[in-house]
Structure 1
């Protein structure tokens, strides 16, 4: 718990719209979103969102209806996201890169009646021909989300001139937001599907409000306050501030995480709650990304391990002016200790923080304190957020294990969601008596810091011994020849399974049998005999999801 902060937070009976209304009232003239030449203040963002809400209601979207956001990151994603919620409808964000059949399946499962799409994604939506969708709204291209070459931005690739444009909705007169309760659905968010079929998670307004406030108050040393108009804003707690705390109404962030993913979707509301000015980065390109950080004096830098590895490998990165950055936040997947150390050198005035969460927990369960030199032990993904309990239980829903023992991570808190849409059997399996069975393996130390060692489905058994991939991956990342590494279990006739590593080498380190032997020796000298990596395979790039998670299912298929 941050020093100087209460152990528990008050969670107002409020919606996400009330959080945006609070920031629009308190930071009206402050820049909220910058997407190239498209610039919106907080007052303008709220006005545009209210107009979108009114336009949706004029076109028959009602309280509880599901509206899909099928578009790349842009300022219009945030505007339409809040517009849907202010209309009393439910947001289902979908990966804009989905092929038509998968897109159709997800929109049908979510029961979408309307879709916001983009010139770059319209053709896939048209091809999907989703039954039940009665309204399609085309958002215009922006600097962060340009139209494809040769595409008419007014219609979208492969589409006719039919449909509705966002400008038509923005022409509506803003109306009072539709009243929603904390138990109303806010999101139908699909899981990443890295270990199986993607499922729609039921995220309630109270879940999102709680998780946004947990993260915003932790990172911003603040507490939530409700004004006479029912608007929610944050009030700083001066005694809890550190040199790296988000300054309410005075920080600048960059939006890079995919907004269809839980980290990007919920983080935008954390930024809005803290009055942060957000620069939309668009598709990640290392040099352009660094220029944005320098030009706009970005203070908060989010990313995933794959992004940070690419940034660290950028030639000349050490010459960039990154002194404005105060927070570097790694999420989506565990990052190796070697990369964290190098990030600390690259950002000399920033604290490097890591967190842990999953879609079934809205977004976040744990995070680091806002300190550069702090109590966080190496390898930990942090401590539980306000009002969040973490337990380590024996695999197979067994008893709670003592500190230091490895088992399955279970979590309880106000951000734990309402289960899976239309999958009561899966809900009963993962959600029990207020607790979420995360499917991740980890341990707690005596001080309550959480350490992850991998997914339960990724654990392999070598001659009866449990072997966890994450510690082996961390060791491989320590070797100077390794840029990226992922360990899987491969079937073996005698041992059951053996640890097999897929490795990406750094420039100047040729792959081959000699390097493979050196890497296996490097790991073997640091682990027990049963934990040794038995095979090394070199690969040009590790397969990753749009959110930056390594797709081990693809590596297993490749190995097979």
Structure 2
């Protein structure tokens, strides 16, 4: 790999395992070679639309997660800054806050994309498998995309409803968050149980691609589809937020026997010990872990199942490469995984990023062995 670049992660995987599926959705599979080629095509089409290094491109919810991942890799390779919007953030207000040069959609979302692009006074284009269509004018021939640098912005995450505030991530931070040293994993297939558009999907997918492994996206939302995907693909890894894990365990826990890694991830706080015990019972051969993660900081802390009973209410110890301290009762974290700031909001950025520390705003304490406990909202 020539640098900490998202596009190079895909290129490296395609060189090492070209015929291995990078992503599977139902009966469809996209190999790493096909993903790499699709990323090149998407990058060329963005360049033909006048998208240049550092330009922001809004990509709204789409019915085709495979196409979404192609756009994700292609935008990264083009040097564009992708702004993927979840369902609860898909609004003219958020599009205006993102200040993109382009709203890009697939055919399914074209009508809504055109409406919101008009409301935000930006261009709209439709990306298809073999062409790109704009509203009112025709793109030129594909041009060579500008190569990004690892400290360039890569993603802007609008993580939920409320006041639009975009979390800016560089290529470097994205690749390091997904590095296999941060979350040692067994080899094999990952089923990603995050809802479509959730900010945690991007790191989960990139982490699997760095390990040159396959990501399975359930064909339909819901715990039944997740359990079926684990069984059908004999997955060794399952990642879900706590609320989805509860539903999975209530649906078909006997389908989880192949798992060797069972992880839950949330920004809310400590995962209930009862949930971790239930996951352990359903997956006796798996390593069970709970991660405290946020869009701004990536993994903050990790709790192994073995520590659940000894550390009730703990979020675990700081994640690899992360320094944590409590100052005036507030959790501060520092490390290479931090975001670059809030989009176009220097005041808000300066309030939380000081001297390399991210002031989370969360009340917390660290016990004598370095375990983190959140003590307030």
Taking structure 2 as the reference length, the TM-score comes to: 0.88
Aligned equivalents of 1:69, 1:86: Cα separation in 2? 16
Equivalence map 1:188-227=2 (5 Å): 188-193=156-161, 196-213=162-179, 216-220=180-184
Does residue 393 in structure 1 map to residue 327 in structure 2?
yes
Q: Is this contact kept in 1: 2:192–2:240, CA < 8 A?
A: no
- What pairs with 1:174-323 in structure 2 (closer than 5 Å)? 178-193=146-161, 196-213=162-179, 216-220=180-184, 245-247=185-187, 251-258=188-195, 260-314=197-251, 317-318=252-253, 320-323=254-257
Deviation at 1:45, TM superposition (A): 0.8
Deviates more, 1:26-35 or 1:67-76: 67-76
How far apart, CA to CA, are the structure 1 residues paired with 2:176 and 2:209? 14
Is the 8 Å Cα contact of residues 228 and 255 (structure 2) preserved in structure 1?
no
Tell me the residue number matched to 2:122: 133
Match of 2:302 in 1: 367
**Does the Cα contact within 8 Å between 2:257 and 2:282 map onto a contact in 1?**
no
Q: CA deviation at 1:218?
A: 3.1
Alignment of 1:38-57 (within 5 A): 38-57=28-47
Give the secondary-structure state (helix, strand or coil) at the position aligned to 2:296. helix
Q: Deviations over 1:303-361 (max 9, x none)?
A: 111111222333xx34x232111111111234211111111111121121111121112
Distance 1:306 1:123, change over 3 A: farther
| 1:261-316 alpha-carbon deviations (Å, 9 max, x no partner) | 321122111111011111111442222221111111111111111111222333xx
Contact 2:47–2:144 (Cα < 8 Å) also in 1 = no
1:358 is the counterpart of 2:322: no
Instruction: Give the 3-state SS of the residue equivalent to 2:45 in structure 1.
Output: helix
**Which residue is 1:379 aligned to?**
313
Counterpart for residue 495 of structure 1: none
CA contact (8 A) 2:57 2:100 kept: yes
Moved more, 412-421 or 89-98: 89-98
> Is residue 356 of structure 2 the alignment partner of residue 419 of structure 1?
no
Question: 1-side partners of 2:259 and 2:321: how far apart?
Answer: 29
Equivalences for 1:427-466 in 2 at 5 Å?
427-455=349-377
- Following superposition of structure 1 onto structure 2, how do residues 509-528 of structure 1 map, counting pairs within 5 Å? none
- Structure 2 residues not aligned, in runs of 5+: none
Q: Shift of residue 163 of structure 1? A: 4.2
C-alpha change, 1:410 and 1:97, in structure 2 (3 Å) is: closer
- Pairs within 5 Å for 1:132-171: 132-138=121-127, 163=134
> Does the C-alpha gap of structure 1 residues 48 and 200 become closer, same or farther in structure 2, counting only changes over 3 Å?
same
Question: By how many angstroms is 1:414 displaced?
Answer: 0.9
**Do the aligned residues in 1 keep the contact of 2:88 with 2:160 (CA within 8 Å)?**
no
Distance in 2 of aligned mates of 1:201 and 1:71: 18
How far did 1:374 drift?
A: 6.0
- The whole-number CA distance in structure 2 between the counterparts of 1:289 and 1:13 is 34
Q: CA deviation at 1:259?
A: 5.2
TM-score by length of 1: 0.61
Shift of 1:373: 4.0
Q: Check conservation: 2:193, 2:226, Cα contact below 8 A.
A: no
Equivalence for 1:79: 70
Structure 1 residues 387 and 286, CA gap change in structure 2 (3 angstroms): closer
What is the match of residue 337 of structure 1? 273
Q: What number of residue pairs does the alignment pair up?
A: 368
**Residues 355 and 364 in structure 1, CA contact (< 8 A), matched pair in contact too:** yes
CA distance, structure 1, for counterparts of residue 15 and residue 249 of structure 2: 40
Cα-to-partner distance string for 1:426-458 (whole Å, 9 max, x where unaligned): 111111111111122222222212222342xxx
2:34 aligned with 1:68, yes or no? no
CA distance in 1, matches of 2:110, 2:134: 11
Q: 1:139 to 1:181 in 2, by over 3 A?
A: same
Give per-residue Cα distances to partners, 1:56-84, cap 9 Å, x unaligned.
11221111111112124611111100101
Answer whether contact 2:330 2:364 (CA < 8 A) is retained.
yes
Give the conservation status (yes or no) of the 8 Å contact 1:419–1:431. Answer: yes
**1:201–1:97 CA distance, 2 compared to 1 (3 A):** closer
Q: Quote the Cα distance in structure 2 between the aligned partners of 1:447 and 1:177.
A: 49
Mapped partners of 1:12, 1:48: distance in 2: 20
Could you say what the CA RMSD is over the residues aligned between the two structures, in angstroms? Answer: 2.8
2:82 pairs with 1:91 = yes
Cα distance in structure 2, aligned partners of 1:414 and 1:285: 34
- Pick closer, same or farther for the CA change 1:139–1:267 going to 2, 3 Å: farther
Deviates further, 43-52 or 304-313: 304-313
Once the 2 structures are TM-superposed, how far is the Cα of residue 120 of structure 1 from its aligned partner?
5.0
Q: What's the counterpart of residue 23 of structure 1?
A: 13
CA deviation vs aligned residue, 1:384-409 (integer Å, no higher than 9, x gap): 23331101121xxxxxxxxxxxx221
- Larger-gyration structure (1/2): 1
Distance 1:18 1:367 in 2: 28
**Contact 1:71–1:118 at 8 Å: present in 2 too?**
no
Native 8 Å contact 1:207 1:414 kept in 2: yes
Aligned pair in 2 of structure 1 residues 421, 288: CA closer, same or farther (>3 Å)?
closer
